[in-house]
Amino acid sequence: MKVLISEDELQQGISKMATEINGQFGEQPLTVICVMTGSIILVADLIRQLTMPVKLGSVHASSYRGDTSRGELELDTSMLPDLNGTNALIVDDIFDTGHTLNAVHNHISRLGAATVQSAVLLYKHGRQELEFDVDFVGFEIPDEFVVGYGLDYQGIYRNLPYVGVLESGDLAAEQENN
């Protein structure tokens, strides 16, 4: 596995993103919406650097079924607080095709949030299928399958403290082990 973004680089990028979010919202209360499960580590690190009053909610969004190809998006929003009139910030691990963030954004907007913005750790180039403007981006990356810092392959690697690229040999070894 090749390290794409080191632990130190991640922390610097998250601090930069937090500074931008603090600048955008000032002291206005903010409801941070964690897109589970991949962004849980990012959200934990990010909200500790936010200076405004923060509420936390989560949605579970899943479109991958055991491999690296996308299936139908499933969205569970039962863990959201009341969003009516709030400033909402959707935080996701990666912007890939755009389908997940677009669906979550549309759903949050329908729930009556006054503003809905988005933040992603990784913006992957070359895979977008929808036009969507992400408000806060930690890192732009090439079109490679990445794991670590919350991102997984078949449920593993989320615990890595860095973002790594799964190479074809890594994938073959994982398939042999399963």
> What residues act catalytically?
96
Tokens of 153: 């392959």
Per the DSSP assignment, residues forming a β-bridge with 151 are: 148
Q: Parallel, antiparallel, or unpaired: how do β-strands 87-95 and 146-147 relate? A: unpaired
- Terminus-to-terminus CA distance in the chain, angstroms? 18
